[in-house]
Structure 1
């Protein structure tokens, strides 16, 4: 399968390039009118100051190229009923889910020993709509990409155009306990920022998270959008929990494969295909691959992300090592209030 590695922007003539420029110029002008985290928030984390966030239809996005990608994808991505979208809030197990979905979907063409995941980061194998595809200030042509197209996004379900929802595409959503999600997000941002002078304090970052001012936040609205969609349309929206994936990865992978319409056969189970995929895609295995320890950086516009930035511990309950009991209780209370009467709970 060449799609993940050969996504490129076809050569365009001058008229087409000028048209792209006009489209993105319109988005840039709109972004300047949106609420800015450096001006409209009562307190700021260092990350917000370093990469200001903008509030778009109730959700926060930044840097600017991410929001450009969101707007362009909304207007120009044409989904197919065979598409599969891997959807998550940031730092909820995105890399792991992308790897599992990619390996499972392509297992006939790419047995584990030949998988592209051994030489390429999962984010390159399953590209983000708003980062890699539509955030480059040039509209990609995805019409030649064979089906099923496996794509990723952090875009909230509430921002999906009606054309996406009615297309019949498959949505796989993975969420994680908000306390672990926050801690992972805080570590990730500090790795990205790098400079000591810009490292955000835990208290500042936590305050921003509680107010919903973080990438694709508020967290509770992001989760609720997909949760409600899964209740209304379970045949097209699969709602998974990170904790279930950790406690019973085999059963979770079976559910994922069946949902993607490529279930494991009894013969495959006997031959250990499922177990081999789980082993290859485990966080420990992915983390220790040379490409993810020393490989080339993922680049979006002027931003470069080291592959090892996407891997840390992935432990359930790791938040106890960073959050005080009072902080954990505050976040639990916020989530309880926001999710009240939804049928969804993160109580441990």
Structure 2
């Protein structure tokens, strides 16, 4: 069974979400000329979120990894940032989405060719897409596993907060992760706000 659904029959415009990296996408999606919105997080919060996700993810013993072991894996598998196709890939950070959600909604809508001008419409989108609303949808609260996934939707939701890394990372971990982040992003023109 192919884990990637057949999307040919879905009418346009289509909107899909994934947790896969760009390199994990099928080649047909990478070169089809469609637009993508890529959202990333401050690496400090990302590692904490990833660790809590792994603790819920009872698959191949990953739920038993200590925070330190998870940190090591995360640092070894760090991603690269690309700015090759700005007209097709919009790069956002979770932190900027939290800081000014309305502005991000307007920018994403304009990028996708569906500008939203009415303030009431923007507010409605912000409400519908809020962490609180999405995490409380019955489908996302369910602990039910499906035939396609060995884990429930609830594993994707925890706090939705910025800055929880302060409760988990040691000063040594912060220094190492900051060094890796600066090294990997050097020359990319992108700089995470690490405070």
TM-score (norm 2): 0.86
* 1:228 pairs with 2:80: no
- The within-5 A match list for 1:230-309 is 233-265=85-117, 268-269=118-119, 272-293=120-141, 295=142, 297-301=144-148, 303-309=149-155
Q: Please say if residues 238 and 259 of structure 1, whose CA atoms lie closer than 8 Å, have aligned partners that are also in contact.
A: yes
Unaligned segments of structure 2, at least 5 residues: none
Q: Check 1:300–1:174 CA distance in 2 against 1; reply closer, same or farther (3 A cut).
A: farther
Structure 1 unaligned blocks of 5 or more: 1-19, 21-68, 70-130, 134-139, 213-217
Q: Give the Cα–Cα distance (whole angstroms) in 2 for the partners of residues 291 and 164 of structure 1.
A: 27
The equivalent residue for 2:41 is: 176
Distance change (3 Å), C-alpha of 1:204 and 1:296: closer
In structure 2, what is the Cα distance between the partners aligned to 1:152 and 1:205? 25
Cα distance in 2 for residues equivalent to 1:132 and 1:297 = 20
Alignment partners' CA distance in 2, 1:306 and 1:162: 27
SS of residue in 2 equivalent to 1:256: helix
User: Structure 1 residue runs of 4+, over 3 Å off?
Assistant: 153-166, 194-198
CA RMSD of aligned residues (A): 2.7
Q: Distance in 1 between matches of 2:57 and 2:45?
A: 18
Post-superposition offset of 1:181: 0.7
Name the CA distance, whole Å, in 1 between partners of 2:93 and 2:62. Answer: 35
Query: In structure 2, do the counterparts of structure 1 residues 196 and 163 end up closer, same or farther at CA, with 3 Å as the change threshold?
Result: closer
Report how far residue 290 of structure 1 moved.
3.2
Deviation at 1:188, TM superposition (A): 0.6
Deviations 1:129-170 (A, max 9, x none): xx552xxxxxx3x33221112123344435667754443211
1:191-210 alignment to 2 at 5 Å?
191-193=56-58, 198-210=63-75
Q: Any conservation in 1 of the 2:58–2:151 contact (CA below 8 Å)?
A: no
The one of 160, 163, 185 equivalent to 1:317 is 163
d(CA) in 2 for partners of 1:298, 1:277: 29
2:18 alignment partner in structure 1: 153
Q: With structure 1 as the length reference, what TM-score do the two structures score?
A: 0.50
Report the count of equivalent residues: 194
Distance 1:168 1:132, change over 3 A: closer
Contact preservation (8 Å) 2:47, 2:71: yes
| Higher Cα radius of gyration | 1
Distance 1:300 1:247, change over 3 A: farther
Is 1:329 the counterpart of 2:159? The answer is no
Deviates further, 180-189 or 337-346: 337-346
2:56–2:63 contact (8 Å) kept in structure 1: no
